[in-house]
Amino acid sequence: MAHVILTGCTGTAGSAVLARCIASSSISRVSVLSRRPVKQATGVDKVNVIIHKDFNVYPNGLLEQLKGAVGCVWALGISAGQVSADEYKVLTLDYPLAAAKAFATLSPLFNFVYVSGKGVTRNPGRFTALFASTKGAAESSLLSLLPKNPSLRVYNVRPAFIDDTQDVKLKEGKKPFSYALMDKMAPVLRAAWPSGVSPTGKLAEVLVKCVEEQGPKEDVEKAYRGKGVSFDGEGDGVGVLIENVGVRRLAGL
């Protein structure tokens, strides 16, 4: 029975992961770090929402509450167009890096699952979009922690168009007008470009699989090997990059 940490649970991907964790019989405890209450967690005994204001800082008292967790799905994020470039860097790069450093010794094996995105690159050029270069820098920075943190494992997952239009529960409470365009676009994308779509339920299935994984390195590579997945860890370190085609394959799509 696993204890996992989640962030970004008021967003589309994070709320889908929380729903998956709540329904999972193999997850006994969920610690949600959030700036505000999470309605979805109300009345769910195994979910503890911890109001946390500064995601760059993890005091000992907080880490004590998280002790024993086997992993974290980091789904906290924001659109690059909603904040300044400096703010986007803090949210997208600094926050997950600080968390991974702080969480690395919570258990003998700790899986840090970073929700990145399709089109992200670790080798940006002059005209690379802020989103792609910053998330790429976050992926690289997380992997750089592996040599000095033998308990840490890093999964960088790159979903594409996250489609929650068929997930009725996740749509509850959201403003109807925000779905008007999505409801029209999603069926077209599913038909014309299936490899570019990440259904929320299937994406959450893969993210939770990653966060719970406790097998040795060779078993991880055997279980995930295939189209859309590559391995970044050197020596005994485990670093896994899962492109959207890999997400779909692992989810049986």
Question: Which pLDDT band holds residue 236 (cuts at 50, 70, 90)?
Answer: confident
pLDDT bin (cut points 50, 70, 90) of residue 177 is very low
Q: What is the pLDDT of residue 205?
A: 96
pLDDT-above-90 percentage for the chain: 77
Confidence of residue 233 (pLDDT cuts 50, 70, 90): confident
Q: Residue 180's pLDDT is what? A: 58
Which stretches of 53-199 are DSSP H helices? 60-66, 85-89, 95-103, 130-144, 168-171, 177-192
User: Does 170 score more than 80 pLDDT?
Assistant: no
Instruction: Give one word for 228, left, alpha or beta, with left for phi > 0 and alpha for psi -120 to 50.
Output: left
Q: Is pLDDT of 181 > 70?
A: no
The whole-number pLDDT of residue 214 equals: 94
pLDDT at 226: 97
Question: Would you state the pLDDT for residue 155?
Answer: 98
Q: For position 164, what pLDDT does the model report? A: 75
Residue range of the domain that includes 151: 2-250
Count of the separate structural domains present in the chain: 1
Higher-confidence position of 175 and 62? 62
CATH of the domain at 238: 3.40.50.720
Average pLDDT, the chain: 90
Q: What are the pLDDT digits (tens) for 1-45?
A: 899 999 999 998 999 999 999 999 999 999 999 999 999 999 999
Write the DSSP assignment of 89-112 as a string of letters: HIIIIIHHHHHHHHHTTSSSSEEE
Return the structure tokens found at 138: 């976050």
